[in-house]
Amino acid sequence: LSELSHRSIGIFDSGIGGLTVFREISKILPREDLVYLGDTARVPYGTKSAATVTRYAIQNVRFLLKEDVKLIVVACNTASAFAVEALQKEFSIPILGVIEPGVAGALRIGGAASPDTPKPPSGSFELAKPDSHSRQLKICVIGTEGTIASEAYTKALHRRDPSVRVSGVACPLFVPLVEEGWWENEITQQIARHYLNETLDRGLDAMILGCTHYPLLKSTLRKVVGERVALVDSAEETARETALLLDKRGLLRESSARPTHRFFVTDSPERFQRVGSMLLGETLLNVRHVEI
Ligand code: DGL
């Protein structure tokens, strides 16, 4: 298999948000060549049906296969929720979605606060430790309408631990707010409270950020959920899982030559370049339009 190791990692998303996953993968795997496809002509996926999203996802994979990839990461949560199983049946290449890594990350907190949770000042209170023996872990998943309606996260959590109590909240306004750059703004915080207050009132141990865009709202969400709720970033978890999978299969790129990062979009590159550069905090180069 290792003669495949020189190939690129393929990543696709409905549009720009998957750059959060791209960024985490490029951090954890700085030697890998990455090829990203953003289906910007057909975004959003979050409001579309399972059948449509699955059809788009299959076309996206077919495109990436032509780019000589060794593994495909479905960065889009909605596509992962609706289509990962269909993709894995249809194609023989390893395909990794964001749901399973996010779920594993949420269950790992089982007892400990997440690394993202600030430590209490010394001499003050102890963080509450959810103890699976004495009470159920309460996990909330936030995502697009499609992701929440699919219950993909809930099912995946229950497959691993039937005792977990899972709630799901669709937060459709978050995607445009992030693309507008309103990550830490007062209005965004109010909207987040509006979506999440009821769930927070019932008590929560962890919240899974089940959408490509949400990691950019982490500091606003931290203010809204308080210090004790672990925020699980599925982009980070997926990057870690990608590295483990490549390592296990002997597919890590050996060469120390500078890796290439290429971007393809199905609409014109201009908006992707502009908004994507803001999301990544660096200028995006190498963006090309493709018809798929
Ligand atoms: N990429 C999508 C997701 O993570 C969000 C944007 C969309 O609705 O297409 O679910």
**Residue whose structure tokens are 């190791």:** 5
Quick one: pLDDT at residue 110?
63
What pTM does this model have? 0.91
Q: What are 232-255's pLDDT values in tens digits? A: 999 999 999 999 999 999 999 988
C-alpha closest to that of 174 among 193, 188, 159 = 188
Over residues 155-210, the pLDDT tens digits come to 999 999 999 999 999 999 999 999 999 999 999 999 999 999 999 999 999 999 99
Q: Is the CB of 14 under 6 A from ligand 1?
A: yes
Residue in 61, 74, 178, 211 annotated catalytic: 211
How far apart, in whole angstroms, are the C-alpha atoms of residue 29 and residue 242?
9
Distance CA 28, CA 280 (A): 15
What CA dihedral angle connects 240, 65, 33 and 238, to 10 degrees? Answer: -10
Write down the catalytic residue from 11, 16, 53, 76. Answer: 76
Q: How far apart are CA 231 and CA 207, in angstroms?
A: 5
Dist. CA 97 → ligand 1 center (Å):
13
Q: DSSP code of 202?
A: T
Per-chain mean pLDDT for the chain: 92
Each residue of 98-133: pLDDT tens digit? 999 999 999 998 644 444 444 444 444 444 444 444
Q: State the SS3 of 146-198.
A: HHHHHCHHHHHHHHHCCCCEEEEEECCCHHHHHHCCCCCCHHHHHHHHHHHHH
User: Is residue 42 scored above 70 in pLDDT?
Assistant: yes
Residues 6+ apart with CB under 8 A from 138: 130, 164, 165, 167, 202, 203, 204, 205, 206
How many Å apart are CA 255 and CA 235, to the nearest integer?
A: 25
Q: Answer yes or no: are the C-beta atoms of 237 and 20 closer than 8 Å.
A: no
* Segment 249-278, tens digit of pLDDT: 999 998 888 999 999 999 999 999 999 999
- Cα 176 to Cα 145: distance, rounded to the nearest angstrom: 14
